[in-house]
Amino acid sequence: MAGGIPWRLENGGCAALPLPGDASIASVARAHVSSLLPALGLTVTDVDDVSLMVSELATNVLQHAIPHGGCAKAELWVYQRGDGNGHDELVVKAFDTLREWRGAPEASGRMREHGRGLEIIDILARGRWGHHPSRSRLSSPALRGKATWFALPNPRTRIARCRRHARTPVGEAQAAKVLRSLLVQRGMNRFTVRHEPGVSVLSAEDDLTVRCEGGTFRWHARTGECGELPVADITEVCEQLVRLSEAMDDVHVV
């Protein structure tokens, strides 16, 4: 828990909260995010914008991803990551168990509302939003679904820097161990780890290979997709690996 808030803060720094499957979903998400940010030492330039976008994200889940009658299994995730340009950003994601994306506005009123909500997020996040296949964080076993997200600039406060640094694994072997643990929590049990001088390697058969070397994770998938991120962004590394694995499972790449 963070500051008395019913979040689970996993190793790596992602706070996760279960969301209700009823009309209270938006207010619950909004209230807890507003309380969570200062508890984690995070700041954003406009808290009202964050609250509005969180409401739209949660409402989207209620309208288009929660089965009639409830049983949501929806989750809200909040964490920091680098933006690739030397700055930090706040990432907010809503997970649901409806795999397919229903983002295109259609004729019905509910879908028109859905479209307006996404337009609001697009404007306020300046295009920094999207969706991808993912797995849950709070269910055991982990459930397959998707995550819809937005990101906003996040000033690097002293408290946030200290907490993020404290959560960063030290050394290649420790970083690889923590990453494998995060992947196992998401139901990805196929990764094995081997250690060599100056480098640790995680591999999942021939699907994915991840090298941790010089404070950086580098990965390569059998689809040809590759990427790299610093160890400090281990939460985002895990997200990218889960996304890749789920996408490959969806299309049955051979």
Q: What is the pLDDT of residues 12-54, one digit of tens each?
A: 678 899 999 888 999 999 988 888 877 766 666 677 888 899 9
**Is the model more confident about 225 or about 170?**
225
Architecture per CATH, 8-161: 2-Layer Sandwich (3.30)
* Cα dihedral sign, 74-79-85-87: positive
Report pTM: 0.85
State the pLDDT confidence band at 68, using cuts at 50, 70 and 90: low
Q: What is the mean pLDDT of the chain?
A: 82
Beta bridge partners of 216: 213, 230
pLDDT tens-digit map of 99-142: 877 654 443 443 344 457 888 999 999 999 999 999 999 998 99
Decide if 89 contacts 154 (C-beta within 8 A).
yes
C-alpha 88: how far from chain center: 15
**Residue 143: partners with Cβ closer than 8 Å, 6 or more residues away:** 73, 97, 135, 136
138/129 Cα distance (integer angstroms): 23
Do the Cβ atoms of 37 and 55 come closer than 8 Å? no
Q: How far apart are CA 251 and CA 238, in angstroms?
A: 20
Could you tell me if 17 and 32 are in contact, meaning their C-beta atoms sit under 8 angstroms apart?
A: yes
CA atoms within 13 A on the CB side of 94: 32
pLDDT computed for residue 63 by the predictor: 83
**218 φ, ψ (degrees, to nearest 5):** -130, 135
